[in-house]
A and B are shown apart, each in its own frame.
Chain A
């Protein structure tokens, strides 16, 4: 219950406050969003698998976002930012897809 509340609070806070994202962070936001989605889908799948762990979820979410942003930052500094973001998006995208497929198998048994 508290967890669902947290989800709702997060969405509402994001919509209401509409925080001014610092210009320095803006390039990494899309990647952070993809990483966050990856962590959320991973958590969902783990929950359905019955092996969910709150600590693993939170830590994996935080580290995913930070590492993804860091990779893109590093890539920008090295001049291969777009290629590295493509790589990150591909890897995270595949993970999201296969997690979503696993969730689908759980929910629809198909």
Chain B
């Protein structure tokens, strides 16, 4: 405490007292009297005022600059998001175009009903129909880090969090129980879809998901729900709920709508040339 006391007691520069004592012996004291001394004082005050003012000005200038940079970044994000949205729209339009042409071409070669079915099962077309809605969410107590985004969470070591393999089992269980089409958080799953973890997020086809995970499945509504709940994977989900507090809710829905999968690529089929045509 003596340090603080020292600071408190000697708040006035000791120089003043010394100078005053010196002056008292000389007979002078108080404010400066000569013009030279006054000028020195004025110069000092100019400096002091300058430093304080510049400091204040600097602080005022710096604040808007930071705000402006932030604004610019937000603007850029908005612009790029808009651009991405536009591109996505173009992709959708082109895909529609492609599928219309495909259908036309298949009709020519007598595809008909079979191709529709193949399209539905492959996830190439939008589907709707009766089905189930399954919502899976992390346990309430699962630490979710600073924010709610999947990138800010504390990690998969926490047992209250839904993991990629849980989602894999759920989806596989739904397929096995007779689902005809499945989507997670609006992403249609195909036979080639991957559900995996990267860092702290669950990715479906390389797109990160944000909990809660909403799984929509088209199928024979009630039957599908019962069969899933009775299957090994349904029981697994039940066990997760009982043991780790992972929240799940399954409900039968009259009409669920699933979008088409974003990229359905023909891998092995080759266009038929005239020569091969029989």
Tell me the nearest residue of chain B to A95, going by C-beta.
B11
B42 on interface, CB distance cutoff 8 Å:
yes
Residue B147, interface by CB 8 Å: no
Cβ–Cβ < 8 Å partners of B17 in chain A: 51
B-contact 0/1 string along A57-70, CB 8 Å cutoff: 11111100100000
Check B30 for interface membership: any CB of A closer than 8 A: yes
Q: B218 CB to closest chain A CB, in angstroms?
A: 59
Q: What 1/0 mask marks residues of chain A from 70 to 89 whose CB sits below 8 Å from any chain B CB? A: 00000000000000000000
Residue B48 CB within 8 A of the other chain? yes
Tell me, in angstroms, the Cα distance from A55 to B52 when the chains sit together: 20
Digitize B11-50: 1 where CB-to-A-CB distance is under 8 Å, 0 elsewhere: 1110111111001000001111001011111111111111
Contact of A21 among B13, B41, B42, B54 (CB under 8 A): B54
Contact: A33 with B52, CB < 8 Å? yes
Q: Is A24 an interface residue (CB 8 A)?
A: no
CB-CB contacts below 8 Å: A3-48 with B: 3, 5-11, 13-15, 18-19, 21, 26, 29-30, 32-33, 36-37, 39-40, 42, 45-47
* Per-residue B-contact encoding for A86-100, CB less than 8 Å = 1, 0 else: 000001001101110
| Cross-chain contact of A10 among B4, B23, B48 (Cβ < 8 A) | B48
Q: Name the CB-closest residue of A to B46.
A: A10
Q: Please tell me if the beta carbons of A10 and B58 are within 8 angstroms of each other in the complex.
A: no
Contacts of A8 in B (CB 8 A): 49
Interface range for B? 35 or more
Interface residues on A, range: 35 or more
Complex: chain A residue closest to B36, CB-CB: A54
- Are A99 and B11 in contact, with the CB atoms below 8 A? yes
Which residue in A7, A15, A65, A95 is a CB contact (below 8 Å) of B7?
A95
Contact of A107 with B by CB under 8 A: no
Contact status A46-B16, CB under 8 Å: yes
**B12 close to A61 (CB less than 8 A):** no
List A contacts of B29 (CB < 8 A). 50-51
Q: Is the CB of B45 within 8 A of A3?
A: yes
Contact between chains at B20 and A51 (CB < 8 Å): yes
Contact A13/B44 with A33-B51, A50-B30, A53-B23 known, Cβ cut-off 8 Å: no
Min distance, Cβ A76 to any Cβ of chain B, angstroms:
18
Complex Cα distance, B19 from A98, in Å, reads: 21
